Protein backbone atom coordinates (compact mmCIF):
# COMPACT_ATOMS: atom_id res chain seq x y z
CA UNK A 1 0.00 0.00 0.00
CA UNK A 2 1.39 3.37 -0.96
CA UNK A 3 1.32 5.62 2.06
CA UNK A 4 1.47 9.39 2.17
CA UNK A 5 3.75 11.67 4.14
CA UNK A 6 1.25 12.36 6.92
CA UNK A 7 3.06 15.53 7.91
CA UNK A 8 1.26 17.10 4.95
CA UNK A 9 -2.03 16.51 6.78
CA UNK A 10 -0.88 18.89 9.52
CA UNK A 11 -0.54 21.78 7.08
CA UNK A 12 -3.12 24.51 7.30
CA UNK A 13 -4.60 25.37 3.95
CA UNK A 14 -3.69 28.96 3.29
CA UNK A 15 -6.91 30.73 2.49
CA UNK A 16 -5.28 34.15 2.63
CA UNK A 17 -4.94 34.97 -1.05
CA UNK A 18 -8.02 33.04 -2.13
CA UNK A 19 -10.07 34.80 0.56
CA UNK A 20 -8.75 38.13 -0.68
CA UNK A 21 -9.57 37.21 -4.28
CA UNK A 22 -13.12 36.20 -3.29
CA UNK A 23 -13.79 39.46 -1.47
CA UNK A 24 -12.31 41.49 -4.32
CA UNK A 25 -14.42 39.78 -6.97
CA UNK A 26 -17.59 40.12 -4.85
CA UNK A 27 -16.85 43.84 -4.50
CA UNK A 28 -16.16 44.18 -8.23
CA UNK A 29 -19.47 42.51 -9.07
CA UNK A 30 -21.34 44.88 -6.80
CA UNK A 31 -19.43 47.89 -8.21
CA UNK A 32 -18.75 47.03 -11.85
CA UNK A 33 -17.58 50.57 -12.71
CA UNK A 34 -15.19 50.94 -9.79
CA UNK A 35 -11.50 50.59 -10.67
CA UNK A 36 -9.85 48.54 -7.93
CA UNK A 37 -6.22 49.34 -7.04
CA UNK A 38 -4.16 46.42 -5.83
CA UNK A 39 -1.58 47.17 -3.16
CA UNK A 40 -1.71 43.66 -1.80
CA UNK A 41 0.77 41.92 -4.02
CA UNK A 42 4.28 40.80 -3.19
CA UNK A 43 5.31 40.84 -6.83
CA UNK A 44 7.12 43.54 -8.77
CA UNK A 45 5.28 45.35 -11.55
CA UNK A 46 8.00 47.06 -13.61
CA UNK A 47 9.93 45.66 -16.59
CA UNK A 48 13.42 44.14 -16.41
CA UNK A 49 16.25 46.71 -16.65
CA UNK A 50 17.54 47.40 -20.18
CA UNK A 51 21.02 46.06 -19.35
CA UNK A 52 19.50 42.72 -18.25
CA UNK A 53 17.29 42.48 -21.34
CA UNK A 54 20.26 43.13 -23.66
CA UNK A 55 22.38 40.47 -21.94
CA UNK A 56 19.41 38.09 -21.91
CA UNK A 57 18.98 38.52 -25.72
CA UNK A 58 22.69 37.99 -26.29
CA UNK A 59 22.61 34.83 -24.21
CA UNK A 60 19.69 33.49 -26.24
CA UNK A 61 21.53 34.25 -29.52
CA UNK A 62 24.58 32.32 -28.29
CA UNK A 63 22.32 29.30 -27.79
CA UNK A 64 21.39 29.44 -31.50
CA UNK A 65 24.91 28.66 -32.74
CA UNK A 66 26.83 25.37 -32.20
CA UNK A 67 30.03 27.34 -31.60
CA UNK A 68 28.62 29.31 -28.64
CA UNK A 69 25.88 26.95 -27.47
CA UNK A 70 25.72 26.07 -23.75
CA UNK A 71 24.44 22.74 -22.41
CA UNK A 72 24.39 21.90 -18.72
CA UNK A 73 26.20 24.55 -16.73
CA UNK A 74 27.94 24.05 -13.38
CA UNK A 75 25.28 23.22 -10.77
CA UNK A 76 26.58 26.00 -8.50
CA UNK A 77 26.19 28.59 -11.26
CA UNK A 78 28.60 30.02 -13.81
CA UNK A 79 31.78 31.47 -12.34
CA UNK A 80 31.27 34.72 -14.30
CA UNK A 81 28.16 35.37 -12.19
CA UNK A 82 29.45 34.07 -8.86
CA UNK A 83 32.59 36.21 -9.08
CA UNK A 84 30.54 39.37 -9.70
CA UNK A 85 28.24 38.52 -6.79
CA UNK A 86 31.14 37.89 -4.40
CA UNK A 87 32.87 41.15 -5.32
CA UNK A 88 29.94 43.57 -5.57
CA UNK A 89 27.49 42.21 -3.00
CA UNK A 90 30.01 41.20 -0.33
CA UNK A 91 33.73 42.07 -0.69
CA UNK A 92 33.04 45.70 -1.64
CA UNK A 93 31.01 46.01 1.60
CA UNK A 94 33.70 44.47 3.74
CA UNK A 95 32.08 41.04 3.94
CA UNK A 96 34.54 38.23 3.38
CA UNK A 97 32.70 35.95 0.93
CA UNK A 98 34.27 34.22 -2.08
CA UNK A 99 32.80 32.95 -5.35
CA UNK A 100 33.04 29.29 -4.30
CA UNK A 101 30.75 29.99 -1.33
CA UNK A 102 27.89 31.03 -3.62
CA UNK A 103 25.23 28.70 -5.01
CA UNK A 104 23.15 30.19 -7.84
CA UNK A 105 19.58 28.89 -7.98
CA UNK A 106 16.18 29.51 -9.51
CA UNK A 107 14.75 31.17 -6.43
CA UNK A 108 15.11 32.07 -2.79
CA UNK A 109 11.73 30.46 -2.18
CA UNK A 110 13.14 27.06 -3.19
CA UNK A 111 16.39 27.63 -1.29
CA UNK A 112 14.77 28.80 1.96
CA UNK A 113 12.36 25.88 1.61
CA UNK A 114 14.97 23.22 0.76
CA UNK A 115 17.77 24.15 3.14
CA UNK A 116 16.14 22.41 6.14
CA UNK A 117 16.75 19.04 4.42
CA UNK A 118 20.40 19.01 5.47
CA UNK A 119 19.62 19.34 9.18
CA UNK A 120 18.35 16.71 11.63
CA UNK A 121 14.61 16.22 12.10
CA UNK A 122 14.84 16.71 15.86
CA UNK A 123 16.45 20.19 15.87
CA UNK A 124 14.50 22.99 17.55
CA UNK A 125 13.35 25.63 15.07
CA UNK A 126 12.75 29.30 15.81
CA UNK A 127 10.46 31.09 13.36
CA UNK A 128 9.24 34.69 13.43
CA UNK A 129 5.57 35.56 13.77
CA UNK A 130 4.40 37.22 11.51
CA UNK A 131 6.33 35.34 8.82
CA UNK A 132 6.85 34.53 5.15
CA UNK A 133 5.05 31.14 5.28
CA UNK A 134 7.69 29.09 3.38
CA UNK A 135 9.95 28.69 6.44
CA UNK A 136 7.19 27.28 8.58
CA UNK A 137 5.41 25.04 6.07
CA UNK A 138 8.58 23.32 4.84
CA UNK A 139 9.45 22.35 8.42
CA UNK A 140 5.93 21.03 8.94
CA UNK A 141 6.32 18.89 5.80
CA UNK A 142 9.62 17.56 7.09
CA UNK A 143 8.06 16.45 10.38
CA UNK A 144 9.73 19.01 12.67
CA UNK A 145 6.45 20.05 14.29
CA UNK A 146 3.54 18.56 16.13
CA UNK A 147 -0.07 19.29 15.34
CA UNK A 148 -1.64 22.69 14.73
CA UNK A 149 -3.34 23.99 17.84
CA UNK A 150 -4.93 27.34 18.37
CA UNK A 151 -3.04 29.08 15.55
CA UNK A 152 0.32 27.51 16.36
CA UNK A 153 2.26 24.34 15.55
CA UNK A 154 3.45 22.40 18.58
CA UNK A 155 7.22 22.17 18.78
CA UNK A 156 8.04 25.47 17.04
CA UNK A 157 9.55 28.34 19.00
CA UNK A 158 7.78 31.45 17.73
CA UNK A 159 9.77 34.69 17.69
CA UNK A 160 7.03 37.20 18.35
CA UNK A 161 6.84 40.59 16.73
CA UNK A 162 4.85 43.33 18.45
CA UNK A 163 4.30 47.07 18.64
CA UNK A 164 6.66 47.08 21.66
CA UNK A 165 9.63 45.47 19.93
CA UNK A 166 8.95 47.14 16.57
CA UNK A 167 8.60 43.68 14.99
CA UNK A 168 12.25 42.88 15.65
CA UNK A 169 11.97 39.76 17.83
CA UNK A 170 14.00 39.34 21.00
CA UNK A 171 16.47 36.47 21.40
CA UNK A 172 14.68 33.26 22.43
CA UNK A 173 14.60 32.55 26.15
CA UNK A 174 15.17 28.86 25.50
CA UNK A 175 17.76 27.01 23.45
CA UNK A 176 17.03 26.74 19.73
CA UNK A 177 19.13 25.24 16.95
CA UNK A 178 17.90 26.72 13.69
CA UNK A 179 16.78 30.35 13.45
CA UNK A 180 14.99 32.01 10.53
CA UNK A 181 15.43 35.76 10.18
CA UNK A 182 14.37 38.07 7.34
CA UNK A 183 15.47 41.72 7.06
CA UNK A 184 14.22 44.00 5.57
CA UNK A 185 11.23 41.95 6.57
CA UNK A 186 8.32 40.60 4.59
CA UNK A 187 5.57 41.30 5.70
CA UNK A 188 6.45 44.03 8.22
CA UNK A 189 9.14 46.05 6.41
CA UNK A 190 11.12 46.16 9.68
CA UNK A 191 14.90 46.43 9.43
CA UNK A 192 17.55 45.32 11.90
CA UNK A 193 20.56 47.35 13.05
CA UNK A 194 24.07 45.98 12.97
CA UNK A 195 24.13 45.72 16.75
CA UNK A 196 20.77 43.92 16.71
CA UNK A 197 22.12 41.42 14.21
CA UNK A 198 25.32 41.08 16.23
CA UNK A 199 23.25 39.86 19.19
CA UNK A 200 21.75 37.10 17.03
CA UNK A 201 25.16 36.05 15.74
CA UNK A 202 26.38 35.98 19.34
CA UNK A 203 23.42 33.81 20.36
CA UNK A 204 24.10 31.38 17.51
CA UNK A 205 27.79 31.11 18.40
CA UNK A 206 27.05 30.58 22.10
CA UNK A 207 24.44 27.92 21.42
CA UNK A 208 26.00 26.11 18.42
CA UNK A 209 22.93 27.24 16.48
CA UNK A 210 22.61 28.31 12.85
CA UNK A 211 20.92 31.40 11.39
CA UNK A 212 19.12 31.31 8.06
CA UNK A 213 19.17 34.95 6.96
CA UNK A 214 16.77 35.94 4.17
CA UNK A 215 18.00 39.19 2.61
CA UNK A 216 15.70 39.16 -0.44
CA UNK A 217 14.92 42.87 0.09
CA UNK A 218 18.45 44.20 0.76
CA UNK A 219 18.32 46.36 -2.40
CA UNK A 220 15.77 48.59 -0.67
CA UNK A 221 18.13 49.59 2.14
CA UNK A 222 19.05 53.28 1.88
CA UNK A 223 20.18 53.85 5.46
CA UNK A 224 23.90 53.12 5.20
CA UNK A 225 24.19 52.22 8.88
CA UNK A 226 21.95 49.16 8.32
CA UNK A 227 23.63 45.86 7.40
CA UNK A 228 22.80 44.51 3.93
CA UNK A 229 24.39 41.18 4.69
CA UNK A 230 24.72 39.19 7.90
CA UNK A 231 28.40 38.70 6.98
CA UNK A 232 29.01 42.35 7.79
CA UNK A 233 28.86 41.10 11.38
CA UNK A 234 32.08 39.58 12.63
CA UNK A 235 31.87 35.88 13.38
CA UNK A 236 28.78 35.31 11.20
CA UNK A 237 30.58 33.08 8.70
CA UNK A 238 30.58 30.09 11.07
CA UNK A 239 26.91 30.38 12.03
CA UNK A 240 24.91 31.84 9.14
CA UNK A 241 23.59 31.05 5.69
CA UNK A 242 22.29 33.97 3.62
CA UNK A 243 19.64 33.96 0.91
CA UNK A 244 19.50 36.58 -1.83
CA UNK A 245 17.37 36.93 -4.93
CA UNK A 246 17.27 38.99 -8.11
CA UNK A 247 13.45 38.88 -7.87
CA UNK A 248 12.74 42.07 -5.90
CA UNK A 249 16.18 43.58 -6.58
CA UNK A 250 16.04 43.53 -10.37
CA UNK A 251 12.52 42.45 -11.33
CA UNK A 252 13.36 38.75 -11.85
CA UNK A 253 10.21 37.29 -10.22
CA UNK A 254 9.15 35.79 -13.55
CA UNK A 255 12.69 35.25 -14.88
CA UNK A 256 14.00 33.26 -11.87
CA UNK A 257 17.48 33.74 -10.47
CA UNK A 258 18.68 33.83 -6.87
CA UNK A 259 21.60 32.64 -4.79
CA UNK A 260 22.49 31.20 -1.42
CA UNK A 261 25.71 31.89 0.45
CA UNK A 262 27.18 29.08 2.54
CA UNK A 263 30.62 30.01 3.91
CA UNK A 264 33.25 27.26 3.85
CA UNK A 265 33.65 27.35 7.62
CA UNK A 266 29.93 27.32 8.45
CA UNK A 267 29.54 24.48 10.94
CA UNK A 268 26.92 21.98 12.10
CA UNK A 269 27.32 18.88 14.25
CA UNK A 270 26.67 15.14 14.21
CA UNK A 271 24.90 13.50 17.17
CA UNK A 272 28.29 12.63 18.62
CA UNK A 273 29.26 16.31 18.51
CA UNK A 274 31.66 16.04 15.58
CA UNK A 275 31.93 19.21 13.45
CA UNK A 276 30.73 19.07 9.85
CA UNK A 277 30.94 21.51 6.97
CA UNK A 278 27.50 22.85 6.05
CA UNK A 279 29.02 23.95 2.73
CA UNK A 280 29.88 20.34 1.87
CA UNK A 281 26.38 19.16 2.77
CA UNK A 282 24.63 21.86 0.78
CA UNK A 283 26.99 21.32 -2.17
CA UNK A 284 26.06 17.62 -2.13
CA UNK A 285 22.36 18.37 -1.93
CA UNK A 286 22.46 21.10 -4.59
CA UNK A 287 24.52 19.11 -7.12
CA UNK A 288 22.35 16.02 -6.62
CA UNK A 289 18.98 17.71 -6.97
CA UNK A 290 19.60 20.81 -9.09
CA UNK A 291 20.96 21.35 -12.59
CA UNK A 292 21.68 25.08 -12.63
CA UNK A 293 19.86 28.13 -13.93
CA UNK A 294 19.66 28.61 -17.70
CA UNK A 295 22.61 30.34 -19.35
CA UNK A 296 20.70 33.36 -20.74
CA UNK A 297 19.15 34.01 -17.31
CA UNK A 298 22.56 33.94 -15.63
CA UNK A 299 23.84 36.36 -18.31
CA UNK A 300 20.89 38.63 -17.55
CA UNK A 301 21.65 38.44 -13.82
CA UNK A 302 25.34 39.21 -14.43
CA UNK A 303 24.30 42.44 -16.18
CA UNK A 304 22.92 43.70 -12.86
CA UNK A 305 26.57 44.28 -11.88
CA UNK A 306 27.51 46.37 -14.95
CA UNK A 307 27.55 50.16 -14.55
CA UNK A 308 24.31 50.50 -16.53
CA UNK A 309 22.71 47.59 -14.71
CA UNK A 310 23.66 48.96 -11.34
CA UNK A 311 22.16 52.36 -12.15
CA UNK A 312 19.01 50.80 -13.60
CA UNK A 313 18.26 48.53 -10.66
CA UNK A 314 18.82 51.47 -8.34
CA UNK A 315 16.21 53.40 -10.34
CA UNK A 316 13.81 50.46 -9.97
CA UNK A 317 14.08 50.30 -6.18
CA UNK A 318 14.03 54.12 -5.96
CA UNK A 319 10.74 54.08 -7.84
CA UNK A 320 9.13 51.62 -5.43
CA UNK A 321 10.62 53.43 -2.42
CA UNK A 322 9.01 56.67 -3.60
CA UNK A 323 5.67 54.83 -3.61
CA UNK A 324 6.44 53.43 -0.16
CA UNK A 325 7.25 56.88 1.24
CA UNK A 326 3.95 58.27 -0.04
CA UNK A 327 1.97 55.39 1.45
CA UNK A 328 3.64 55.73 4.83
CA UNK A 329 3.30 59.52 4.89
CA UNK A 330 -0.42 59.37 4.07
CA UNK A 331 -1.21 56.60 6.56
CA UNK A 332 0.65 58.41 9.33
CA UNK A 333 -1.12 61.67 8.48
CA UNK A 334 -4.37 59.78 9.01
CA UNK A 335 -3.18 58.76 12.47
CA UNK A 336 -2.06 55.19 11.80
CA UNK A 337 1.26 54.01 13.22
CA UNK A 338 3.46 52.41 10.55
CA UNK A 339 6.57 50.27 10.36
CA UNK A 340 8.60 49.82 7.17
CA UNK A 341 8.34 51.72 3.91
CA UNK A 342 11.70 53.45 4.46
CA UNK A 343 14.18 50.73 3.59
CA UNK A 344 11.54 48.33 2.38
CA UNK A 345 8.73 48.12 -0.20
CA UNK A 346 6.24 47.09 2.50
CA UNK A 347 4.37 49.27 4.96
CA UNK A 348 2.98 47.53 8.03
CA UNK A 349 0.07 49.53 9.34
CA UNK A 350 -1.47 49.24 12.80
CA UNK A 351 -5.11 49.25 11.76
CA UNK A 352 -6.39 49.78 15.31
CA UNK A 353 -8.95 47.07 14.58
CA UNK A 354 -9.29 43.50 13.32
CA UNK A 355 -7.06 42.89 10.22
CA UNK A 356 -9.93 41.69 8.04
CA UNK A 357 -12.21 44.52 9.16
CA UNK A 358 -9.61 47.04 8.10
CA UNK A 359 -9.08 45.15 4.83
CA UNK A 360 -12.86 45.29 4.16
CA UNK A 361 -12.98 48.97 5.06
CA UNK A 362 -10.25 49.88 2.54
CA UNK A 363 -11.87 47.75 -0.12
CA UNK A 364 -15.44 48.99 0.43
CA UNK A 365 -14.67 52.65 1.03
CA UNK A 366 -11.61 53.17 -1.18
CA UNK A 367 -11.54 50.29 -3.65
CA UNK A 368 -7.99 49.50 -2.51
CA UNK A 369 -6.70 45.98 -1.86
CA UNK A 370 -4.12 45.36 0.89
CA UNK A 371 -3.12 42.18 2.75
CA UNK A 372 -4.54 41.43 6.22
CA UNK A 373 -1.68 40.95 8.68
CA UNK A 374 -3.43 38.04 10.40
CA UNK A 375 -2.66 35.96 7.28
CA UNK A 376 1.04 35.98 8.23
CA UNK A 377 0.60 34.66 11.77
CA UNK A 378 -1.10 35.32 15.07
CA UNK A 379 1.05 38.38 15.83
CA UNK A 380 -0.07 39.97 12.55
CA UNK A 381 -3.62 40.36 13.85
CA UNK A 382 -4.64 44.03 13.95
CA UNK A 383 -2.24 44.99 11.16
CA UNK A 384 -2.36 45.23 7.38
CA UNK A 385 0.48 45.11 4.87
CA UNK A 386 0.44 47.68 2.07
CA UNK A 387 2.79 46.96 -0.82
CA UNK A 388 4.59 49.63 -2.86
CA UNK A 389 4.71 47.39 -5.93
CA UNK A 390 2.48 49.33 -8.31
CA UNK A 391 2.72 52.44 -10.49
CA UNK A 392 3.21 55.80 -8.76
CA UNK A 393 -0.01 57.02 -10.40
CA UNK A 394 -1.98 54.15 -8.90
CA UNK A 395 -0.42 54.65 -5.49
CA UNK A 396 -1.28 58.37 -5.60
CA UNK A 397 -4.84 57.54 -6.58
CA UNK A 398 -5.12 54.85 -3.90
CA UNK A 399 -3.83 57.11 -1.15
CA UNK A 400 -6.14 59.95 -2.16
CA UNK A 401 -9.10 57.58 -1.97
CA UNK A 402 -7.97 56.15 1.38
CA UNK A 403 -7.51 59.66 2.80
CA UNK A 404 -10.96 60.67 1.69
CA UNK A 405 -12.51 57.50 3.10
CA UNK A 406 -10.74 57.54 6.46
CA UNK A 407 -10.41 61.25 7.21
CA UNK A 408 -12.04 62.12 10.49
CA UNK A 409 -12.69 58.49 11.36
C1 LIG B 1 9.96 37.42 -2.66
C2 LIG B 1 10.68 36.78 -1.54
C3 LIG B 1 11.75 35.93 -1.78
C4 LIG B 1 12.27 35.69 -3.18
O5 LIG B 1 11.74 34.57 -3.74
P6 LIG B 1 12.20 34.08 -5.19
O7 LIG B 1 11.86 32.63 -5.14
O8 LIG B 1 13.68 34.31 -5.31
O9 LIG B 1 11.42 34.84 -6.19
C10 LIG B 1 12.40 35.37 -0.69
N11 LIG B 1 12.03 35.65 0.57
C12 LIG B 1 11.04 36.49 0.84
C13 LIG B 1 10.70 36.81 2.24
C14 LIG B 1 10.31 37.07 -0.21
O15 LIG B 1 9.30 37.90 0.06
Distance (Å, rounded) from C-alpha 331 to C-alpha 39? 14
Please confirm whether the linkage preceding 375 is cis (ω < 30° from 0).
no
pLDDT at 13: 80
Distance (Å, rounded) from C-alpha 406 to C-alpha 364? 11
Judge if the beta carbon of residue 248 lies within 6 A of ligand 1: yes
Give pLDDT tens digits for 53-111.
999 999 999 999 999 999 999 999 999 999 999 999 999 999 999 999 999 999 999 99
pLDDT at 407: 83
pLDDT at 233: 97
Task: Report the chain's mean pLDDT, rounded to a whole number.
Answer: 97
pLDDT at 99: 98
Distances (CA, A) of 227 to 16, 189, 193, 314: 32, 15, 7, 17
Give pLDDT tens digits for 32-64.
999 999 999 889 999 999 999 999 999 999 999
Judge if the beta carbon of residue 114 lies within 6 A of ligand 1: no
**Which atom of ligand 1 is nearest the CA belonging to 253?**
9
Distance (Å, rounded) from C-alpha 162 to C-alpha 126? 16
Average pLDDT of the residues in 321-330: 98
Average pLDDT of the residues in 149-155: 92
Can you name the CATH fold of 6-47+308-407?
3.90.1150
pLDDT at 192: 98
Do 278 and 262 contact (CB within 8 A), yes or no?
A: yes
308 CA distance to ligand 1 middle (Å) = 24
Judge if the beta carbon of residue 109 lies within 6 A of ligand 1: yes
- pLDDT over 80 at 15, yes or no: no
Q: To the nearest whole percent, how much of the chain has pLDDT over 70?
A: 100
Judge if the beta carbon of residue 138 lies within 6 A of ligand 1: no
Distance (Å, rounded) from C-alpha 255 to C-alpha 6? 34
CATH number at 68-306? 3.40.640.10
Average pLDDT of the residues in 189-201: 98
Do 197 and 233 contact (CB within 8 A), yes or no?
A: yes
What pairing do the DSSP bridges indicate for beta strands 125-129 and 267-269?
unpaired
Number of Cα atoms under 13 Å in the Cβ half of residue 300: 26
pLDDT at 409: 61
Average pLDDT of the residues in 102-130: 98
Give pLDDT tens digits for 366-379.
999 999 999 999 99
Q: Domains of the chain: which residue ranges?
A: 6-47+308-407, 68-306
pLDDT at 17: 87
Burial 82-100 (b: 16+ CB within 10 A, else e): bbbbbeebbeeeebebebe
What is the three-class DSSP state of 148?
strand
Residue nearest to atom 11 of ligand 1 (CA): 216
Pocket test of ligand 1: the residue of 42, 106, 108, 128 to mutate, having most ligand atoms within 8 Å of its CB, is 108
- pLDDT over 80 at 242, yes or no: yes
pLDDT at 408: 63
Pocket test of ligand 1: the residue of 217, 247, 340, 385 to mutate, having most ligand atoms within 8 Å of its CB, is 247
Nearest to 18 by CA among 371, 378, 388, 367: 371
Q: What is the pTM of this model?
A: 0.97
Choose between 42 and 240: higher pLDDT. 240
**Which atom of ligand 1 is nearest the CA belonging to 246?**
8
Amino acid sequence: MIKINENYLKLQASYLFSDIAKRVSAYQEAHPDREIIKLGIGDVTRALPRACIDAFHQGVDEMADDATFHGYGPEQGYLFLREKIAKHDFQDRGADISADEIFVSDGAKCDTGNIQEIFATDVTIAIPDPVYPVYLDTNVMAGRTGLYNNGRYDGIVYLEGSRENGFIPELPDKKVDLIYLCFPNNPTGATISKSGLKAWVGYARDNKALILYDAAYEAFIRDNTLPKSIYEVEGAREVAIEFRSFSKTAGFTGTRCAYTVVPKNCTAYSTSGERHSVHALWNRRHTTKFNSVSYPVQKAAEAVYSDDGHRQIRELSDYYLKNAALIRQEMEALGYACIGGENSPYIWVDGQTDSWKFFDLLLEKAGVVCTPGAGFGRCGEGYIRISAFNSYENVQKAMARISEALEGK
